[in-house]
Each structure stands twice: as structure tokens, then as C-alpha cells.
Amino acid sequence: MQTLSAAPARTRTQPHPTAGIEEATTKSTNPAAAPRWRDKPLRLQRGPLPAGARGARLHVDVQLRSNGRAALARAVRRGLLLPQKMLPPKYFYDDYGSQLFDAICDLPEYYLTRTEHALLEAVADEVVALAAPRDLVELGSGASRKTRLLLDALQRAGGRPRYVPIDVSEGMLRRSAQILLGDYPRLQIHAVVGDYERHLHCVRGGRRRLVVFLGSSIGNFTPDEADRFLRRVAEQLNPGDHFLLGVDLVKDHAVLHAAYNDAAGVTAEFNRNILQVINRALAASFDTGAFDHVAFYNAEAAQIEMHLRARAAHAVHIGALDMRVAFAAGETIHTEISRKFTRDDTVAMLQRAGFEPVRWFEPASHYFGLALGTRQ
């Protein structure tokens, strides 16, 4: 694998509103009809977009109904009955949580987004030249800001790409798609409102693909979860398709600590917002003010751990689950891990999943890495 050092970070550009763009939407009406990934891996078919999408440049495929309320209910019941109470981090991202994450990306302490943006800016042309994609698929696309660097590179290379973002956050996905369509008049978007742990098969397209998973979101999985997830991603791809993975690298502990304990308190607000998500979806009575934000670096596991710590003993009622949850003073809910990687970890992780490493990109600061692999 070759290595490249990139230029220093630049300021990110702000998105701007655009007029409405013609759009077609399909909803999954019969989830049983859609093959579950675990049961039956799908080889995606070459072919046209679904009927409703013809003529429209944006097609939105809604896989998550009521924001996956049933799955949230199961996860909350299971997680809050554990001796170490836990909640899955994907539930941070209601509309407000997505906006908070976007604000985190601009924080001076949160170097991840700036560093990855600058790195991708430096290497996007090379990535596009190597992958030569016709479809650009993005897992957990959020505001799709870094995606622009790849779309720009694709345009420079004379391509007419289709962009296929998948995200659990419907509002953010739709807003980002509208903005992109305004800025890229030749772009087609097939957006999937879905959970990439369950709806990977919906990331359509049998054309040559570049799948990107940026922001070090892979670090929010445990090692076993990450291996399983990457294997599923690899199984979706055809030989010659490429995968670009962004990973936050192990570094000075104080830098890591500060990135998750910002002075403005945005990360604390983001962390506590998961309780509001549960309050609204499951008629729960969490008082967000009763919990402190706690984030620390566990050097042995090479991960930031984020918790919500009860200030005093109290109980919470979760109406939709008919469940009472007791908290001792100082007891925590573990809400997120954010693992930090080395280049060797990352390459080994890709190889275990069935990818052949193609390039490793890393800035002079060694703060963040981008690994490009291809399906073996």
C-alpha cells in the first residue's frame, strides 16, 4: 500500500439553501418482502431506478418507518436492563442530534472533520482515478459535506455520477440531497433513509461503485461489530468496486480528550439528546439535567468512551415499555465508543473483511487516515 502525506487543513465551506428539486419517494410497505441481509446476501442488479424515479433527479427510498421505533424500543429495553446500562449510538441522530453533530464538526477541539476534509481534498482526484466509479455510495452520509470533494473530482474527471447516500436521519438526508442537487446540476441521487446495519441491500446499483464510510464512524462499532459490518459491505461489492474508509488515528491523549469534552458543551448536549429521543419516541421521563456528560480515553482499548452519569439516585419511567429504570447516584449509561486506529489495524481490518488494500493516505500530522481498498 502506498502512502501519501497531505496539505494542512482548510476551512470548510458552508452549505446554502436551494429551491425545491423534483423528487420521487418510495416507502417500504412490506419489510418481510425485502430479503434480510443476514438471511440472504443480495448481489445487486444492474438496471434502471425504480419507476417513480424516472424523470426526477432525487429518489428517496424510505426504509425506516416511524424512525425505527420498534427497533429503538427493543434496544432500550435490552440496553437498560444490562448491569452496565447501554444505548446504541445510532439513536443520537434525530433531526436535532444530526444538527448537533454538524455543529461538533465545526468545534475547534473536534479536529476529525477538518483533518479528514483536508486530506480528502488532497487525494480525491487520485481516489477517483483509481476507483473510476459510476455510483458513489456513502454510508452514514450526514450533511454530505466531504462528499463534495469526491463529486468535484468526479466532475473534473468528466464523470456523471449517481450519488447513493444512506442515513438514519431523514431530515438531514433530504436537506443535504436538495442542497447537492442545487449545486450539481448533472447529479442523480438515490437516497436511502435506512439503518446501514439492516438496509445495506438497499444501496442500489450494479454499476462500478465507490463506497465511502467517512468520519471514523467505523470506530463507533466494537471490533467484532466492525468486522461483521465490513464483511457485509464487502459482500455487497463486485470485484473491481472500491471502498474508502476514514479512520481517526491513535494520538496524544489530551487531544483526544478535548475533542469529546469541548468547552462550548456541544458534545454534552449531543450526548444528552439521546435521552430526549427516547422521551419522545417511547414516552419516557428522562430529565436530561439529571445526567452529566462523561467522556474519557481508555488507552488500553484505544477508545473514547462516552457516558451519561446520574447526578443522584432516581427512577425513570418508560411509558411505551411499561418499564421503570432505577439509577444509583453516579451510575452511568454507556452511550458510545469511538475507537482510534493505527494504519496496521486498519489495513488488517480491511483484509479480514475481504478487501485488498490499494492506498493509505495520511496527513503530516498523522491525525487521520483514509484507506482505499478494492473487493478481492
Q: Is 338 helix (H, G, I), strand (E, B) or coil?
A: strand
Point out which span in 140-148, 265-273, 338-346, 360-368 binds ligand SAH (CB under 6 A).
140-148
Whether 188 and 60 have beta carbons less than 8 Å apart is answered as no
Residue nearest to ligand AVI (CB): 338
| Nearer residue to ligand SAH within complex by CB, 146 or 190 | 146
Q: How far apart are CA 124 and CA 129, in angstroms?
A: 8
**Nearest in space to 244 (alpha carbons), one of 218, 220, 266, 223:** 218
Whether 241 and 234 have beta carbons less than 8 Å apart is answered as no
| Nearer residue to ligand SAH within complex by CB, 189 or 325 | 189
Taking the complex as a whole, the smallest distance from the CB of residue 317 to ligand SAH amounts, in Å, to 27
Of the residues 168, 187, 226, 372, which one makes contact with ligand SAH according to CB under 6 A: 168
DSSP codes, 194-230: S-TTT-GGGS---S-EEEEE-TTGGGGS-HHHHHHHH
Of the residues 179, 214, 318, 370, which one makes contact with ligand SAH according to CB under 6 A: 214
Q: How far apart are CA 67 and CA 64, in angstroms?
A: 5
Is 140 a residue that touches ligand SAH (CB under 6 A)? yes
| Nearer residue to ligand AVI within complex by CB, 270 or 341 | 270
Total residues interacting with ligand SAH, rule: CB under 6 A: 21
Residue 262 CB neighbour total at 10 angstroms: 19
- In the region spanning residues 88 to 107, those forming contacts with ligand SAH, defined by CB under 6 A, are 90, 93, 98, 101, 105
Query: In Å, what is the CA distance from 197 to each residue of 37, 90, 113, 375?
Result: 9, 10, 23, 19
| Nearer residue to ligand AVI within complex by CB, 112 or 275 | 112
Of the residues 176, 217, 236, 271, which one makes contact with ligand SAH according to CB under 6 A: 217
Of the residues 67, 99, 115, 169, which one makes contact with ligand SAH according to CB under 6 A: 169
| Nearer residue to ligand SAH within complex by CB, 92 or 327 | 92
Amino acid, single-letter form, for residue 66 = S
128 touches, from ligand SAH, ligand AVI, none (C-beta below 5 to 8 Å by class):
none
Distance of CA 314 to the CA centre of its chain: 33
Q: How far apart are CA 52 and CA 22, in angstroms?
A: 11
| Nearer residue to ligand SAH within complex by CB, 100 or 294 | 100
How do strand 23-27 and strand 2-4 relate by DSSP bridges?
unpaired
Is 170 a residue that touches ligand SAH (CB under 6 A)? no
Site residues (CB under 6 A) for ligand AVI? 104, 112, 215-217, 219-220, 260, 267, 270, 336, 338
Compute, in degrees rounded to 10, the torsion defined by CA atoms 90, 94, 96, 97.
Answer: 0
**Interaction pattern, residues 295-334, with ligand SAH; x per rule: CB under 6 A:** ----------------------------------------
| Nearer residue to ligand SAH within complex by CB, 186 or 280 | 280
Taking the complex as a whole, the smallest distance from the CB of residue 336 to ligand AVI amounts, in Å, to 6
| Nearer residue to ligand AVI within complex by CB, 236 or 335 | 335
Residues whose CB falls within 8 Å of the CB of residue 227, separated by 6 or more in sequence, listed in order: 349, 352, 353
176 touches, from ligand SAH, ligand AVI, none (C-beta below 5 to 8 Å by class):
none
Counting Cα atoms < 13 Å in the Cβ hemisphere of 309 gives 10
Beta strands in the chain (DSSP E): 2-4, 23-27, 58-62, 85-86, 135-139, 162-167, 188-193, 209-213, 242-248, 291-298, 303-310, 314-318, 323-327, 332-339, 355-361, 368-375
235 touches, from ligand SAH, ligand AVI, none (C-beta below 5 to 8 Å by class):
none
Taking the complex as a whole, the smallest distance from the CB of residue 376 to ligand SAH amounts, in Å, to 25
| Nearer residue to ligand AVI within complex by CB, 152 or 305 | 305
Instruction: State the residues that interact with ligand SAH by CB under 6 A.
Output: 90, 93, 98, 101, 105, 113, 140-142, 146, 166-169, 172, 195-197, 214-215, 217
